[in-house]
């Protein structure tokens, strides 16, 4: 039903807001896409992922523009495209998986108006047919930006900040989870989320992210 409504409104949306590439602003034929040049400039990880992390792209000039537009620029219509790129990198998910987003603290959620990871998780769940559990994790206190902090300090800042929601612990016990985030930098936040999921009895966690900072190129 939602897809039918979107398709019926597409011509009107294109008339009011002419489709443009979110990477460079070039005119496009449709709203949901990139121009050929920006698509070719996206950097993609080699192989199928590092450990339990699956990333659609490496964090570079084009992916950075997409993330900033999506996360801070209110371009939530980018969620389907970003999620499709993530799904394309996921391994086959045999059995019954849960899709869980990295949580935002309620204060940041109120200021931003949406949780970008939850939007990606919703699209990923629809594309894979697995169940979305949007509030499986709870960020019970606000945490500062982790930029510039060392590994140990990041862990200290996040210690106890993210927990599983009490009403979902039965649903989580013994399950496999795809943990969804928009950008993975040091991995401290996703590690804290994975620890909270395992404490609730989750037996396997795969982290799916749109962009991952290339550790080989970071200090």
The pLDDT tens digits of the residues spanning 70-107 come to 988 888 989 999 999 999 999 999 889 999 999 988 88
Residues 57 and 116 in one domain: yes
Residues 132 and 145 in one domain: yes
Residues 102 and 169 in one domain: yes
Residues 26 and 108 in one domain: no
Give the pLDDT score at 48: 56
Residues 135 and 146 in one domain: yes
Residues 51 and 29 in one domain: no
Q: Which domain holds residue 22?
A: 1-41
CA–CA separation, 161 vs 158, rounded Å?
A: 5
Q: How far is CA 56 from CA 76, 114, 132, 181, 213, in A?
A: 18, 22, 20, 11, 11
The pLDDT tens digits of the residues spanning 10-43 come to 433 443 456 788 888 777 656 567 888 888 999 9
- Report helix, strand or coil for 157: helix
Give the pLDDT score at 146: 64
Residues 159 and 84 in one domain: yes
Residues 181 and 74 in one domain: yes
Compute the average pLDDT of residues 173-194.
93
Residues 61 and 166 in one domain: yes
| pLDDT of 192 over the 80 cut | yes
pLDDT band at 214 (very low <50, low <70, confident <90, very high): confident
Residues 69 and 121 in one domain: yes
Give the pLDDT score at 108: 81
Helices (H), 72-215: 79-89, 106-112, 116-128, 151-158, 169-172, 188-199
């Amino acid at each position: 039903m939602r897809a039918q409504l979107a398709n019926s409104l597409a011509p009107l949306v294109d008339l009011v807001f002419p489709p443009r590439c979110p990477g460079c602003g070039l005119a496009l034929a449709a709203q949901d896409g990139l121009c050929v040049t920006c698509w070719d400039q996206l950097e993609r990880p080699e192989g199928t992922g590092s450990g339990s992390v699956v990333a659609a792209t490496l964090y570079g000039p084009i992916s950075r523009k997409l993330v900033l537009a999506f996360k801070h620029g209110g371009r939530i219509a980018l969620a389907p495209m970003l999620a499709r790129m993530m799904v394309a990198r996921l391994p086959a998910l045999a059995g019954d998986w849960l899709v869980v987003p990295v949580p935002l603290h309620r204060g940041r959620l109120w200021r931003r108006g949406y949780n970008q990871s939850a939007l990606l998780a919703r699209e990923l769940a629809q594309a894979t047919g697995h169940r979305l559990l949007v509030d499986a994790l709870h960020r019970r206190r606000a945490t500062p930006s982790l930029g510039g902090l060392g590994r140990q300090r990041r862990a200290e800042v996040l210690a106890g900040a993210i927990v599983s929601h009490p009403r979902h612990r039965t649903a989580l016990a013994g399950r496999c989870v795809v943990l969804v985030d928009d950008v993975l930098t040091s991995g401290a936040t996703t590690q804290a989320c994975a620890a909270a999921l395992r404490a609730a009895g989750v037996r396997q966690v795969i982290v799916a992210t749109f962009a991952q900072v290339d550790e080989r190129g970071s200090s």
